[in-house]
Homo-oligomer: A and B are copies of this chain.
Amino acid sequence: MAHCVLCDTDGGLLIHRAPKWRLIRATDTPAYPAFYRVVWNAHVAELSDLSDAERHECMDVVTQVERLMRAHLAPTKINLAALGNVVPHLHWHLIARFEGDSHFPAPIWAPAQREPLPAALAVLSSKLPALDQALAANFY
């Protein structure tokens, strides 16, 4: 791999780095401030490239992040996805979705259905520092 953005950079705001994975908050999705990613540190493409123990660790982390997102944000739904078509380096998207967000109920990759509401984004964003801290403390 000459260049992989997830080998070369954290990929967002670093919340916690563990030996095998890291948790970042995405900073490239303004309509979705409550968007975290669990990035596997090694350059592997697919979930099934991990050993059983690694996969369990990866998905346990995803689940713990999801639980804290639910506890802090009470989203309508959590969206989980490991796509990697553009960056084939295993990373899990965790996105807090709300009725009335710019794409709901469509996936965030579909055409937007409406403008995001600045007030709703501001309320959501105001909860992120406490969530970031809870996530960091959870994995510390």
| Chain A residues near B (Cβ < 8 Å) | 45-48, 52, 55-56, 59-60, 62-63, 66-67, 70, 76-86, 88, 97, 104-107, 109-111
Contacts and interface: CB of A to CB of B under 8 A. Distances in A.
A47 B70 contact: no
Given A46-B70, A111-B111, A84 B77 contact: yes
Contacts of A86: 105
Given A109-B106, A109-B107, A111-B111, A48 B70 contact: yes
24 contacts: A45-B77, A46-B70, A46-B77, A47-B59, A47-B62, A47-B63, A47-B66, A47-B78, A48-B63, A48-B70, A55-B59, A55-B63, A56-B59, A59-B59, A76-B85, A77-B88, A79-B85, A80-B82, A81-B83, A85-B97, A85-B104, A85-B105, A106-B109, A109-B110
Nearest to A80: B82
Across the A-B interface, give the 3 residue pairs with the lowest CB-CB distance, nearest first.
Answer: A85-B105, A107-B109, A81-B81
Which of A60, A83, A97 gathers the greatest number of chain B CB atoms within 10 Å?
A: A83
